[in-house]
């Protein structure tokens, strides 16, 4: 979802010399394959939109994969880019890197000031390592490596699998299927959502994130870490009412 949105934004702005590989074409967990790709293609700029992602259920079921595979993907890209002379690297993470009880709205300086949310700490720890790797390269070598942390994303090519999706696409699918089943059965189908409905979430369309990535690409930003969002929170209950 994120990669395709960034690709659309770049082509829309007139960029033509673009390189992109699907996970089937290039396994970013394979250090040798990543190294061969960089030596062959010699990219000047790298945008890391690749990750193993999922919602609460997937994070709880596969903690090792969410930790290890994300570490492998980002470490291979960041380290290989640095070793091959790439001067600009944009690393994408998630707002889950911040402490579970951090004050709202989230600010970049809250990183590593408290305990993480237990349901996705494995993914968060991996992403924190990526942020710090980019910060270390920036500090030690002066390269323009920057980390962008988007809030909850939605949009074209989203994942609607109820076992691995995030909250918004999961709700959209549940309400859509309930509507279809209601028409077929002649009565209103109930929709079951997890939790109390009181947690707050901030949502961002993936095309808006792509615009932020383009801005970071075309400008040298003064800091390593930036949050990307709308600045507006909704409860899960209110989000469900909108859907």
The residues that are catalytic are: 123
**How far apart, in whole angstroms, are the C-alpha atoms of residue 144 and residue 44?**
12
**How far apart, in whole angstroms, are the C-alpha atoms of residue 116 and residue 209?**
24
Closest CA to 233 of 193, 194, 204, 207: 204
Provide the phi-psi class of 223: left if phi over 0, else alpha when psi is between -120 and 50, else beta. Answer: beta
Non-local (6+) Cβ contacts of 34 within 8 A are 26, 28, 76, 77, 80
Q: How many residues are recorded in the chain?
A: 243
At 88 the three-state DSSP class reads strand
What the block records as the tokens of 140 is 């030690």
At 19 the three-state DSSP class reads coil
Q: Residue 73 burial by CB count (10 A; 0-12/13-18/19+): exposed, middle or buried?
A: buried
Q: List the 45-48 sheet strands across, edge first.
A: 45-48, 88-92, 144-150, 225-228
Query: 43: part of which helix (H) or strand (E)?
Result: none
Closest CA to 119 of 59, 75, 72: 59
């Amino acid at each position: 979802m994120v990669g395709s949105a960034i690709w659309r934004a770049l082509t829309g702005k007139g960029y033509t010399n673009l390189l992109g590989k699907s996970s089937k074409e290039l396994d970013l967990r394979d250090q040798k394959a990543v190294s061969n790709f960089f030596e062959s293609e010699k990219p000047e700029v790298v945008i890391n939109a690749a990750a193993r992602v999922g919602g609460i259920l997937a994070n709880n079921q596969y903690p090792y994969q969410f930790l290890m595979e994300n570490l492998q993907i980002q470490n291979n890209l960041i380290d290989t880019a640095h070793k091959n002379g790439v001067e600009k690297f944009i690393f994408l993470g998630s707002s889950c890197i911040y402490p579970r009880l951090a004050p709202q709205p989230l600010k970049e300086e809250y990183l590593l000031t408290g305990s993480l949310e237990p349901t996705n700490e494995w993914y968060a720890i991996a992403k924190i390592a990526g942020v710090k790797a980019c910060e270390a390269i920036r500090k030690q070598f002066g390269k323009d490596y920057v980390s962008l942390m988007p809030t909850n994303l939605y949009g074209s090519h989203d994942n609607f699998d109820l076992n691995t999706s995030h909250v918004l696409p999961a709700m959209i699918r549940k309400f859509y299927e309930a509507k279809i089943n209601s028409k077929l059965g002649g009565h209103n189908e109930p929709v079951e959502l997890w939790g109390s409905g009181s947690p707050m979430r901030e949502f961002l369309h993936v095309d808006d994130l792509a615009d932020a990535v383009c801005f970071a690409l075309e400008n040298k930003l003064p800091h390593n870490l930036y949050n990307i969002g709308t600045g507006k929170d909704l409860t899960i209950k209110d989000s469900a009412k909108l859907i």
